[in-house]
Structure 1
Amino acid sequence: MTLREESQKMDSEPAISHHYADVNGIRLHYAECGSGDNLVILLHGFPEFWYSWRHQLTALGKTHRVVALDMRGYNLSDKPARVEDYRIEVLVEDVVGFIKNFGARKAAIVGHDWGAGVAWAVAQKYPERVSRLAVMQVPPAAAWRANLTLRQLLRSWYMFFFQLPRIPEWAISRKDFAGLDQVFKERVTRTGSFTDADIEIYKQALRQPGALSAAVNYYRANLFRLMRGSHTGGISTTVSPSGETAPRRDSRIRVPTLFIFGEQDFAILPETVRGIAKYLDAPYREVRIADSGHWVQNEAVAEVNEALIDFLSSQ
């Protein structure tokens, strides 16, 4: 099944529709489900697109207006050519512009992988725009730095590989994107979470002109700045006289937050996501799923949907 056929199939389901929004100087594609005043924005990670939220769109759309973005550079959204156009502070402005596009004062933000990193940064910089924050797999940047170990650096080897010019694009696309077959079939805890048809749809999204380089540019634009804490879109830290790191008072998260973590993540160790609550001045929930991996919203669909529905519906 082609990406177009899959989109047409989903368009035949009245609950889901596809649209475009002009925000922050670019055009973004998104899938939408549900209606009402309770806006929920879903932000995907690498190497995905709106389709990674297919299981959540209809589930959350029963009670909320839910939109799943193709983030800039992905699938049907615009793909700026410059690396710096993918800096996290630019991505933050995309999300804020997207909220304004709906005429909304604020929205619940849900993010996974890179989408989680952007979601944290939106909540830190624009708390007045975020009603609730739900993030999956990725901790705040400051927590990642504070918890960083040699073991985690080794797990993150691909991020450094992605700094090279052109070679990452060749490696990812070789043999008809065989790497996607590997990560979606072999790097899952729950076998069968992705069908062959699903994987082909992901491949077609990355075949869009400019999409693969744009996806890798997220790492090129942000990795070393995030490691140094020099970006302006996320939580920063100070170091106490005892050598312990702590978030600066003016950069703490001040919106109710849910963190979901599949503990069999091939890229992020459980030790890397410890102590997240200390970066918040707001109610905090944590859901850990022992038998799920990195692609948690696709592997543990029922558990993730239940946690999100409960969190987004609570007062």
Structure 2
Amino acid sequence: MKHGHVVANGIDLAYVEEGDGPLALLLHGFPESGEATYRHLMPALAAAGYRAVAPNIRGFAPSALPADGSMLLADLVADANSLHEVLGGDGDAVIIGHDWGAATTWAAANVAPQRWSKVVVSDVPPLEFFGGYASTYKGIERLNHFWFFQMDMAEQIVAADDMAYLRQVLQEKWSAPAYDVTEDFEATKKAIGEPARLRAALDLYRMNFGPKHMGTPAWNSEHAALWGELPTQPTLYLHGTEDMSVVLDEADLAAIGASLSKGSEAAFIEGAGHLVPAEKPAEYNARVLQFLGKDISS
């Protein structure tokens, strides 16, 4: 893999890339890095004729901290669509996202559909479904880190003992029991181990789901404008059967699949938790490559 930096949307973003061909932009989530999340998918995409590019999102080292401190979803979306331009993407480009990268992908494909020919998302469903889930008893309990991260003391607790909290939550909640998160956790420490980086990462939750703003008419309007509408492009949605953070059943997955555009698919990845691209790479890669290679013109 090659490492590089580019200025997109006014911020210096670091990335890894592999392959040549149409752009495949790979967006990671919390508390991860692009290289770690997509370490298995990138060579597979390169072999299939794509230029796979996995940036670290703003604030996550070695990408720059935003000068204005903003970690709003709107900024992540603008970063992604700007990356399409500065990396030389065209109408054949595809966008792939996981977790926070999933929300960004839903929105980027909706805001600038001309940039992305196909969309692949895992582990966070569309806003219509995620918002409904987050307001249920099950969702509130399973997504308790959303609320914990709002507290001032979260920075001290998460940083303590070599970020032991994140190691534990990655291993015991966000991945299936048989998966070893060591490689992912080492990437986490590199990306957000410094105090300013950790603060930026927690600000994803504080700025986008702040207790005084979330659920207000203004908040609803802001998020609806970004990812309230579903992509018009063919979309693949994948979700782990053992995901203990965003818990879906067969009926939920069927409803998501039915809501997506023509040529779209929705499927479970058996035995995967919330870190689907890293936990079950053979199954995940096969699904992604089959979908990207499918002719949907008929």
**Which residue of the partner structure matches residue 176 of structure 1?**
162
Unaligned segments of structure 1, at least 5 residues: 1-15, 237-250
- Is 1:260 matched with 2:242? no
Which runs of structure 2 are paired with 1:114-133 in the superposition (5 Å)?
114-133=100-119
| Separation of aligned partners in 2, 1:136 and 1:273 | 14
Q: Is the 8 A contact 2:15 2:56 kept in 1?
A: yes
Whole-angstrom distance in 2 between the partners of 1:112 and 1:26: 21
Q: Which one-letter code corresponds to 2:137 in the other structure?
A: L
Structure 2: how far apart are the matches of 1:299 and 1:57? 15
SS in 2 for 1:210: helix
- Output the CA distance in 1 between the equivalents of 2:258 and 2:293: 24
2:57 paired with 1:71? yes
In the TM superposition, residue 115 of structure 1 has moved relative to its aligned partner by 0.3
CA distance in 2 between counterparts of 1:281 and 1:289 reads 21
RMSD: 2.0
Q: Does 2:31 correspond to 1:44?
A: no
Indicate if the aligned counterparts of 1:190 and 1:291 stay in contact, CA closer than 8 A: no
Partner of 2:261: 281
Q: Is the 8 A contact 2:235 2:261 kept in 1?
A: no
Count of residues in correspondence between the two structures: 282
Mapped to 2, the partners of 1:127 and 1:298 lie a distance apart of: 27
Q: Which residue, 23, 29, 44 being the options, matches 1:59?
A: 44
Deviation at 1:290, TM superposition (A): 3.0
Gaps of 5+ in 2: none
Aligned residues: percent identity? 33
Match of 2:74 in 1: 89
* CA deviations over 1:133-183 (Å, ceiling 9, x no partner): 100010111222234421111111110121223x21111111111123213
Deviation at 1:283, TM superposition (A): 2.0
Whole-angstrom distance in 2 between the partners of 1:117 and 1:169: 24
Structure-1 separation of matches of 2:102 and 2:246: 13
Q: Choose which of 217, 222, 227 in structure 2 pairs with 1:235.
A: 227
Q: What TM-score comes out, normalization by structure 2 length? A: 0.88
Q: How does 1:1-315 map to 2 (within 5 A)?
A: 16-36=1-21, 38-50=22-34, 51-63=36-48, 64-80=50-66, 82-83=68-69, 85-106=70-91, 107-147=93-133, 148-165=135-152, 167-187=153-173, 188-195=175-182, 197-208=183-194, 210-224=196-210, 227=215, 228-232=219-223, 233-236=225-228, 251-271=229-249, 273-274=252-253, 275-315=255-295
TM-score by length of 1: 0.83
Distance 2:293 2:178 in 1: 31
Instruction: Compare 175-184 and 74-83 and name the one that shifted more.
Output: 74-83
